[in-house]
Structure 1
Amino acid sequence: MVELKDTHCKCYDNLIEIRIEKLLRVRSPKRRYKMMTTNIAESMNSCLLAIQKLPIASIAEFIRDLLQRWFHDRRTNAHEMSTYLTRYADDHIKQRVLQSQRCEVNPIDCNRFKVGDKWTDTIVDLEQRSCLCRQWDLDELSCIHVMAVARLKGMPMTVLCSDFYTTGWLKHAYSMIVNPVPKPETWNIPR
């Protein structure tokens, strides 16, 4: 940013007006680009490599067909899940439950807790949905400190995870149907 300010002051001023939080992942209050956004782009790019020299209509049909299959497979997978959280979130919780049992929790008030693990002490704020380790803040999936607080308060671990990790949300995300394009002679084109 210093280099940008020195060479293009007006551009620098415009970026500062936008706010740094919107520009830099490191300053983002949440993880905007992680597994889902990166993986889908990489998956799509690898699928399109083989067909990049085809006519645009063929590429469009290939993409439509690919998305139709992906949505069907993911919709089927989501409907087979019987847990509240997705398999990914359930695995995350299970991996960290043992670690969270080693944490010592001391209430500060009804929403804030000092939580110590063998490395460091941190503060969990249930009202702000924040932990100083920042894992819960960024991923919106319970860290070991939040799990320790949930256990102390008798709360289910699943309550403190974002709705984005629920099976219901996953089912909703893939609820749209990708239909085949009908033959051109059946199209109803308005004047």
Structure 2
Amino acid sequence: MTTNIAESFNALARHARKLPVVMLIEFLRSTLQKWFYCRRNMADTCTHPLTPWAEEKLANHIHKSANMIVKPITVDRYEVYSSGRPVAIVNLATKECSCKKFQLSQIACAHVATIARFQNLSNCYPWVNKYYSTEYWKAVYQEAVEPLGDPSEWVQTEDICIVNPPQMQQRRSGRPS
């Protein structure tokens, strides 16, 4: 969330930026083709219900929850304690926790993991957003990025409009008025 997408794109295409536009676009297309192929294969080999990233995040939250204690308020609301003092209030019906991590990441936070252990559940998957599932991961990379083929075989339309670059006037030296 803190990485500037423009910087990432520029780092990817720093050598290709010097190429003509058609070659730059072909470079980007082939890069996407490679990424889709690799990620499709990774998703196909995944045996867990969640993506590896989400599984690791959830495992960290479960590890952090080891010393926490739960006190139920209602069927859906719980108070979670750590070191004898209240840490968070969790509402499972609305999928909210007072730590706000549950709402932001939509992955069960450590407090929700503590409640799952309190309820003798084997996993926290019901409180993880479906977009972190392997099923969705596979669906994202299901389509292939196809090559464009030879330009001589492209279909030409009748109403092609040629756009020339703008004519630039010479700037005067010094500070503008």
Specify the TM-score bucket, using the shorter chain as the normaliser: 0.7 to 0.9
The number of residues matched between the two structures is 156
Counterpart in the other structure of 1:167 = 134
Q: What is aligned with 2:30?
A: 65
Correspondence 1:1-191 to 2 at 5 A: 34=1, 38=3, 42-118=7-83, 120-155=86-121, 156-189=123-156
Query: What TM-score results when the alignment is normalised by the length of structure 2?
Result: 0.79
Distance in 1 between residues matched to 2:16 and 2:10, nearest whole Å: 10
CA deviation digits over 1:152-185, x for unaligned, max 9?
Answer: 2233212211112111111111112100002234
CA 41–130 in structure 1, closer or farther in 2 if over 3 Å, else same: farther
CA 1:139–1:101 in 2, change beyond 3 Å: closer, same or farther? Answer: same
Q: Distance in 2 between matches of 1:120 and 1:41?
A: 43
SS at match of 1:171: helix
The SS at the match of 1:176 is coil
RMSD: 2.0
Deviations 1:70-94 (A, max 9, x none): 1111111111110001111111122
Shift of 1:98: 2.7
Q: CA deviation at 1:189?
A: 4.8
The normalised TM-score by structure 1 is: 0.74
Structure 1 or 2, whichever has the larger Rg, is 2
Residue 65 of structure 1 aligns with an amino acid whose one-letter code is S
Using the TM superposition, give the Cα deviation of residue 95 of structure 1 relative to its aligned residue in structure 2, in angstroms: 2.0
Percent identity at matched positions?
31
Any conservation in 1 of the 2:68–2:82 contact (CA below 8 Å)? yes
In 2, the alpha carbon distance for the partners of 1:74 and 1:105 equals: 39
CA distance in 1, matches of 2:141, 2:38: 9
Whole-Å separation in 2 of the counterparts to 1:61 and 1:144: 45
1:102 is matched by which residue type in structure 2?
N
The change in CA–CA distance for 1:128 and 1:152 in structure 2 (over 3 A counts) is: same
